[in-house]
Amino acid sequence: MSPTTRTPPTPPRPVGALRMDDARLAYDERVIAEHLDLTVVDGSFTVVIGPNACGKSTTLRALSNLLRPTAGTVALDGRAIHQLRAKELARRLGLLPQSALSPEGITVADLVARGRYPHQSMLARWSAADEQAVGAALESTGITDLAARQVDELSGGQRQRAWVAMVLAQQTDLLLLDEPTTFLDIAHQIALMDLFATLHAQGRTVVAVLHDINHAARYATDLVVMSEGRIHAEGDPAEVITPDLLATVFGLDAAVIEDPVNGGPLVVPRHGTRPVPPAVPEPLPTPERSCP
């Protein structure tokens, strides 16, 4: 009798604060992504990258409960995320959306203060702890001097930092950031990414959608690469980012070398690279207001 061939068991997925299982994400009848299995490990700095229209932002919307999967589940600490009350979820999860709208005429200080709403009740309104959290958020994003300015008077980069400050004022253990460096010059991009890295080092779990592959390689502990609505690869950036992956997913002819300053992989595109033909774009979601 020939020996029975056994298939090695599939290793268990790691336990994470935030977990997506076999999810299908759609707007009405239009499916954007499906069969998504994603675990955000506690204490990780997870970065999601991929070409335009691959489903990155839609995935983040589902993880933050702005979009409910049409199949599969999203859970936070083992509980279906859509079952959590809004205030309870806001005490656990801070979200920086891609398209944020602020009330007309609101000042930077008042916008950032709205990040404290989840921690207040009918009996306990503004407190010294709230004041301290708002001050720290303004300082850490470098906009203390803009506190009295109206948000709609700011430049795109200043406005982006005001929204980041509001999310930081929530003081959640879990941060979800959709293209947080949008509108920022390179110095402010690095300053903001360094801030997120510091928060991560202090124990926060961070999930960010980024376009810049080198930012992703530098800051991520866990890298997720999406393509055409599926997860193409995930793991340590040093193992995931290869010339083959860049060619297959991004249509990019590039070398991957060791970053001479920070270590880790550094992507160096070759001259004359042509991008892959654009995919059918995701529908633009209705802008979500992050502040209560």
Residuewise pLDDT in 10s, the chain (292 residues): 444 444 444 444 444 579 999 999 999 989 999 999 999 999 999 999 999 999 999 999 999 999 999 999 999 999 999 999 999 999 999 999 987 788 899 999 999 999 999 988 777 778 999 999 999 999 999 999 999 999 999 999 999 999 999 999 999 999 999 999 988 999 999 999 999 999 999 999 999 999 999 999 999 999 999 999 999 999 999 999 999 999 999 999 999 999 999 999 999 999 865 555 555 555 555 545 445 4
Would you say 276 and 51 are in contact if contact means Cβ atoms under 8 Å apart? yes
pLDDT of residue 165: 96
pLDDT of residue 7: 43
Cα(50)–Cα(58) distance, integer angstroms:
12
pLDDT of residue 277: 53
Q: Which residues contact 235 (CB under 8 A, 6 or more apart)?
A: 222, 223
Cα(114)–Cα(169) distance, integer angstroms:
8
Would you say 180 and 191 are in contact if contact means Cβ atoms under 8 Å apart? no
CA torsion angle 203 206 211 213 (round to 10): 40
- DSSP tag of 192: H
* Identity of the amino acid at 34: E
pLDDT of residue 131: 96
**DSSP-derived 3-state class of residue 54:** coil
pLDDT of residue 288: 52
Cα(265)–Cα(134) distance, integer angstroms:
36
Cα(89)–Cα(94) distance, integer angstroms:
9
Cα(248)–Cα(254) distance, integer angstroms:
11
Q: Which residues contact 104 (CB under 8 A, 6 or more apart)?
A: 152
pLDDT of residue 8: 45
pLDDT of residue 123: 72
* Axis-axis angle for helices 186-201, 156-169 (nearest 10): 10
Cα(225)–Cα(242) distance, integer angstroms:
12
Structure tokens at 7: 């298939």
- DSSP tag of 83: G
pLDDT of residue 286: 52
Task: Quote the strand ranges of the chain, DSSP E.
Answer: 16-27, 30-41, 45-49, 71-76, 79-80, 93-96, 174-178, 205-209, 222-227, 230-235, 254-258, 265-269
- DSSP tag of 232: E
pTM for the structure as a whole: 0.85
CA atoms within 13 A on the CB side of 76: 20
pLDDT of residue 101: 82
**95 burial class (0-12, 13-18, 19+ CB within 10 angstroms)?**
buried
Residue with tokens 């470098």: 142
